[in-house]
Amino acid sequence: MKVLVTGASGFVGSAFLARAAIENRFSLRAALRSDVQVLPPSVVPVFVEGLSATADWREGVKECDAVVHTAARVHVMHDTSYDPLTEFRRVNVEGSLKLARQAVESGVKRFIYISSIKVNGEETVLGKPFTADDPPAAVDPYGISKREAEEGLKQLATDTGMEVVIIRPPLVYGPGVKANFLSMMRWLNKGVPLPLGAINNQRSLVAMDNLVDLIVTCIDNPAAANQTFLAGDGEDLSTSQLLRRMAAAMGKPARLLPVPAWMLEAGASLLGRRAVALRLCGSLQVDITKAHRLLNWIPPVSVDEALRKTARHFLEAQFR
């Protein structure tokens, strides 16, 4: 089976390629914008101008059986675009649908779209996780663009017969993780006291190894056709638990101060950082039962094992 991977230089795309190349189950092509990226020897590079309505994907999708589409304009905390929604739509909606249409024309049988839990919404009531079949409730421009791309791909599947599989991950972590997760590891590594010792929320995460395993499962499992799945580790953690277990994985003490969540939320609101408080104190849980029921998929890596792998990569990088 020949598979094209977009976003091959990104966090998810590169991890998928590394795993798939080792297993040697698929003939792999990687869509790249330049030749800077180092690929596994068995992976064939295909150069494209980027994800847009004008990109030409014909060479990339030629004779392919499946596309794993990880490329996207990603969510950023402080977007400086004049019109963020328009920019997200230009890449994530128009670019993705251009790729999918050319995939159809080339006879691609299955299109796997890596979406986002933000399509479901920003938070859940404690103990009531999102499910794959909940009505979408995207709020921010990134989530809206991902929802619209999903809708366009589903319509294309209906019109053409190409199978579309949608995977919505929550926060993805693993070796090389950036953004807030990296900041958390830096705080713990420095022993910075954090006012996060009394947060009793519940949040779902997904280790990169688990997300990649689900993607691999969806490439050729007949039951995945035209389905939407939520990805997760199968164990939810409070912010306080995550910090303590990450610290243990790093061999560091977790210096957590038991500041009440309501006090943190009030202070963050006064400082104009309510969104930060939401992520730290609010709950966001996902139900992965559908993937288990239809695909017999169980996350192969435990949270603690994944945290240790992430910590080891982070600590090794400090001495390079």
Q: Which domains does the chain have, with CATH numbers?
A: 2-173+207-233 (3.40.50.720)
Q: Give the DSSP letter of residue 41.
A: T
Is the pLDDT at 77 greater than 80? The verdict is no
Is the pLDDT at 120 greater than 70? The verdict is yes
Calculate Rg over the CA atoms of the chain: 20
166-189 pLDDT, tens digit per residue, is: 999 999 999 999 999 999 999 999
> What pLDDT is attached to residue 266?
86
The CA distance from 148 to 154, in Å, is 10
Nearest to 173 by CA among 314, 22, 77: 314
Mean of the pLDDT values across residues 81-92? 90
> What pLDDT is attached to residue 269?
79
At position 17, the amino acid (one-letter code) is L
Q: In which band, very low, low, confident or very high, does the pLDDT at 50 lie, cut at 50, 70 and 90?
A: confident
Mean pLDDT of the chain: 94
Q: In which band, very low, low, confident or very high, does the pLDDT at 36 lie, cut at 50, 70 and 90?
A: low
Catalytic residue selected from 82, 113, 142, 173: 142
121-176 pLDDT, tens digit per residue, is: 999 999 999 999 999 999 999 999 999 999 999 999 999 999 999 999 999 999 99
Q: In which band, very low, low, confident or very high, does the pLDDT at 81 lie, cut at 50, 70 and 90?
A: low
Q: Give the DSSP letter of residue 135.
A: P
Is the pLDDT at 291 greater than 70? The verdict is yes
**Cβ count near 179 (within 10 Å):** 14
Percent of the chain clearing pLDDT 90 (strictly above): 84
> What pLDDT is attached to residue 161?
97
> What pLDDT is attached to residue 4?
98
226-275 pLDDT, tens digit per residue, is: 999 999 999 999 999 999 999 999 999 999 999 999 888 888 777 777 77
99-108 pLDDT, tens digit per residue, is: 999 999 999 9
Three-class secondary structure of residue 42 per DSSP: coil
Q: What are phi and psi of 50, to 5 degrees?
A: 130, 175
Q: Do the Cβ atoms of 47 and 9 come closer than 8 Å?
A: no
Indicate if 113 belongs to the active site. no
Q: Which residue has the higher pLDDT, 207 or 50?
A: 207
Is the pLDDT at 93 greater than 80? The verdict is yes
